[in-house]
Amino acid sequence: MQDVGRIWGLRTSSKVRLCRSGWLPTEPPFLASDDTTGLGILRGAEGGSPDRKEDVLQRFGVKWLLAGAALIASGSAIAENPIVPGWYADPEARVFGNRYWIYPTYSDDWGKPDVSPSFTPHQQELRKTKTVRPSYTQQTFFNAFSSPDLVNWTKHSHVFDVANAAWAGYAIWAPSVIEANGRYYMFFSANDIQSDAETGGIGLAVSDKPEGPFKDALGKPLIGAFHNGAQPIDPFAFRDDDGQVYLFYGGWKHCNVVKLSPDMKSLVPFADGTNYKEITPPGYVEGSFMIKRNGTYYLMWSEGGWTGPDYSVAYATGPTATGPFKPMGKILAQDFRIARGAGHHSVINVPGTDEWYIVYHRRPLGDDKGEHRQVAIDRMVFEPDGSIRPVAMTNEGVKPRPLTAPTAARKN
């Protein structure tokens, strides 16, 4: 484990932030923003020039470090988006025990490459097959992050790795973790299959602890083929009030929902005898998500292209977990002052309250590389009529929100 802390996100009274994210300014990517002192903005995937960085350090470095030390001493660390250093995407947020958890996709290397320890001969062959983007061969594990208060995050490295799933070789994406039967079940996408002739799809791994290690539970995908046109990616596990767990998933502009057996390892037919129910709303692309509030089901999803600035989040409401759903519009989109490409989100409800937070990825301004995505948290507010107020993206993030009591009994 590694405590990523908050020193990289501290501000001085001049409101100049030394790093967009990451550690100290000698580490890429380097960006100074919210500048009220004439420092200017340094952009680019590789960061600013060494001379410029050195100049910034000489002019402001000591002041920032002193200010950071003072804030830490006073116990008043400031939350800031992005919340953790690194290129991460598709974050799923959960509450397990007395901590918040985030399980994201490892999107790209940040500084020193992070890699899986080894690959089997079969996995090596899988990795030679055609992939859409070279980065997919880097995406072979999940790191996780946990926090007592949504501000101070601890990194848990390689909670799942393809070393523990012999059929999966690359493009490990969008984990979804749910507690059941005293264990933790992780659904995940693997191998980015383009047809039923390929091996891959949605897998299942299990662990006794939320921090893993998660190990393959089936020896094969749980969903390894296309149904109703949906590519088997982007799973999300949702438990309804009656205890039934549903798995929402789907790419290629199609969304399916299936019912899971109590042991999470197989599908249960719907009343009409089918296993796969299509519930695709207008505009849907991928990243389905579900919450329930005051008897209303909120189906949420991402629209637009994941590598582009138009990536966004929309939602619909319905009377059951399977619909029918009424489209309600977008609630999260790019803000030219803050970030672009905001999407593939999840939502946290603080247990016992009506406080809600949206956890999502977004792309820094001026950075056009598709994999360069970062995790952010902002408040999500419901209007009196039950609709969701459009989310205001911020650089400030959220205030500390400790969990008031252990919530080990919470199952969704």
Residue 4 has a CB neighbour count (10 Å cut-off) of 20
Based on the domain organization, do 17 and 139 belong to the same domain? no
Based on the domain organization, do 133 and 26 belong to the same domain? no
Q: How high is the pLDDT of residue 134? A: 86
Q: What is the mean pLDDT of residues 195-220?
A: 98
Q: How high is the pLDDT of residue 128? A: 83
Between residues 405 and 308, the one the model is more confident about: 308
pLDDT tens string 98-129: 999 999 999 999 988 999 999 999 999 888 87
Nearest one of 266, 230, 264 to 249, comparing CA atoms = 230
User: 286: domain range?
Assistant: 87-380
Is residue 182 very low, low, confident or very high in pLDDT (cuts 50, 70, 90)? very high
Pairing of strands 326-332, 339-349: unpaired
Q: Taking the alpha carbons of 106, 111, 117, 119 in that order, is the dihedral positive or negative?
A: positive
pLDDT tens string 2-19: 555 443 333 322 233 333
- Does residue 160 surpass a pLDDT of 70? yes
| 177 strand-pairing partners | 186
Based on the domain organization, do 182 and 38 belong to the same domain? no
Spatial separation of the C-alpha atoms in residues 348 and 293, rounded to whole Å: 12
Q: How high is the pLDDT of residue 320? A: 98
| Active-site residue, 303 included | no
Based on the domain organization, do 142 and 7 belong to the same domain? no
Q: Which of 179, 211, 286, 303 does the annotation list as catalytic?
A: 286
Based on the domain organization, do 366 and 314 belong to the same domain? yes
Number of domains in the chain: 2
Q: How high is the pLDDT of residue 79? A: 61
Q: What is the mean pLDDT of residues 73-89?
A: 77
| Active-site residue, 286 included | yes
Residue 178: inside a domain: yes
- Does residue 55 surpass a pLDDT of 80? no
Based on the domain organization, do 174 and 285 belong to the same domain? yes
Instruction: Report the mean per-residue pLDDT for the chain.
Output: 84
Q: How high is the pLDDT of residue 25? A: 35
Q: The pTM is what?
A: 0.83
